[in-house]
Amino acid sequence: MSSSALFSRARAKWLLLLAAIVAALVFAWYQFSGSAAPAPMSHRMAFGAPAVVRVVPVQRAALDVQIKSIGTVTPLNTVVVQSRVNGVLERVVFTEGAVVEQGELLAEVDPLPYKAQLEQAEGQLQQSRATLENARADLTLYETLWEQDSIARQQLSDQRAMVNELLGTVRANQAAVDDARLQLSWTRITAPLAGRLGLRKVDQGNLVTGSEAEGIVSITQMQPIAVNFTVPEVDVPTLRRSFLGSGPLKVEVLDRNDQQVIATGELTTLDNQIDTATGTLRVRGQFANEDEALFPNQFVNVRLRLSTLQDVLTIPADAVQFGSSRTYVYVVEGTQAFVREVTLGPSADGKVAVTDGLKQGEQVVLEGLDRLRDGKEVVIPDANGEVARPPQTAQAAPGERRRPGAGTGERRGPPPAN
């Protein structure tokens, strides 16, 4: 036998052995997987089981028509205190962050140069007044001599002109005195309004001028204070009607979580045009801010109350479902939940008014909506959160064989004779 024939026979034996090993492995895997127990029935979801839901009744109540927005706390007045004269800052008497009253002294510029200017102006004024008095005495004398025909008319006219000229000089010198006195008063830098001080911009001993943009310190009015916010264009007609009504509109400022009311004020101003870029109208509310809960440039949540609807049907806003072409809720009737289309009105504080589709006292599904469909069986937990289960059919005890018809009310006759 040739070597090629021997090689072919050995190759065929190895292939048969490999196929047998693969077949044995496949058989063992099949036996192992087939012996695994099926998943217990308790881990399977019962198909068609009733859905557990929580319901709330449709109620009649008063509902506030409100607009919610985000606003910015804005002071009514803010001023940068600057020196109105040039000089060395001789004293700084304020404390950073303190509350000051209007007219309270804040700092003082070296007054000596301005005192000297005042004295110089007062000296010139005194000199011009003395000259004027002398000229007036001469004028009186000339008028007497003119009546006696002792002097020429031209001499009397010149003297009158001199008196008028000296009157102008006295007025100019008086103005110089007033200006010097004003410059001296400006060396005392006082608060132009009541408010809270910021951080000091210039230290004592520095040269200050009236052209410094940063100034010495800033004052921000804290009481009262304003909040600027925007109202959507679609709500502007309703807002204007309410604003022009009989009473002021209430504005509430809430914390960042939109839960707690920080301050309460009134709407005071509407802007004169709608912003075309955002489609909103800027408005302003004013707050007393006695506790200084509102801080300038703070972002806050704003709630503007336009009016109050009395005796309207209300449901929680979370119970409303929005479809592609309808708005609906699930209403429980008996043990089933049915879809009910509704027409909604204004909403506020998690409640929404229903103008059509519901009646007072009907039960609306609030929780468990994701498991519902029209006509779905439902169960409602009690006050303790427990769900009443339907009664179960009694099961036979272990080892006991149940007779046919037992427990079903079926009458059975005597056993047949052998």
DSSP string computed for 160-202: HHHHHHHHHHHHHHHHHHHHHHHHHHTTEEE-SS-EEE----S
Task: Give yes or no: residues 224 and 285 share one domain.
Answer: yes
- The answer to whether residue 79 is domain-embedded is no
Mean pLDDT of the chain: 84
Tokens describing residue 284: 């302003």
Q: At 144, which CATH number? A: 1.10.287.470
Q: What is the CATH number of the domain that holds 247?
A: 2.40.30.170
**Where a domain ends, among 267, 289, 307?**
307
Which domain, by its residues, includes 230? 219-307
Q: Summarize the confidence of residues 130-149 as an average pLDDT.
A: 90
Among the candidates 282, 307, 332, a domain finishes at 307
Cα–Cα distance for residue pair 106/188, rounded to 1 Å: 8
Are 229 and 152 members of one domain? no
- Quick check: is 288 in a domain? yes
CA distance 136 to 166: 10
d(CA 68, CA 90): 51
* Cα distance between residue 406 and residue 158, in whole Å: 148
What is the distance between the terminal CA atoms of the chain, rounded to a whole angstrom?
82
**For residue 404, cis peptide bond before it (omega within 30 degrees of 0):** no
Residue 91 lies in a domain: no
Mean of pLDDT values over 13-22: 76
Residues 255 and 178 in one domain: no
Instruction: Give the end of a domain, one of 289, 307, 325.
Output: 307
Q: Give yes or no for residue 35 having a pLDDT over 80.
A: no
State how many domains the chain has: 2
> What number of CA atoms fall less than 13 Å from residue 257's CA on the CB side?
2
- Percent of the chain surpassing pLDDT 90: 54
Q: Could you tell me if 245 and 186 are in contact, meaning their C-beta atoms sit under 8 angstroms apart?
A: no
Q: Is residue 392 part of a domain?
A: no
DSSP H/E element including 37: none
| Residue 319 placed within a domain | no
SS3 content of the chain, % helix, strand, coil (to 5): 30, 35, 35
Q: What is the mean pLDDT of residues 211-216?
A: 87
Q: Based on the fold, state whether residues 236 and 303 are members of the same structural domain.
A: yes
pTM for this predicted structure: 0.63
What's the rounded mean pLDDT across residues 91-108? Answer: 94
396: confidence class by pLDDT, cuts 50, 70, 90: very low
Q: Give the model's pLDDT for residue 64.
A: 81
Give the pLDDT band of residue 116 (cuts 50, 70, 90). very high
Together in a domain, 232 and 297? yes
Buried b (16+ CB within 10 A) or exposed e, 206-235: eebeeeeeebbbbbbbbbebbbbbbbeeeb
Grouping H, G, I as helix, E, B as strand and the rest as coil, residue 158 is helix
Domain presence at residue 163: yes
- Give the separation between CA 275 and CA 277, rounded to whole angstroms: 5
Is 227 in the same domain as 286?
A: yes
Are 223 and 177 within one domain? no
In which band, very low, low, confident or very high, does the pLDDT at 414 lie, cut at 50, 70 and 90? Answer: very low
pLDDT surpasses 90 at 349: no
Taking only the tens place, the pLDDT of each residue in 238-261 is 899 889 887 889 999 998 888 889
| pLDDT for residue 411 | 35
pLDDT tens per residue across span 75-85: 999 999 999 99
Q: Is residue 4 part of a domain?
A: no
In a domain, 260, yes or no: yes
Rounded CA gap, 109 and 90, in Å?
5
pLDDT at 381: 84
Greater confidence (42 vs 25) lies with 25
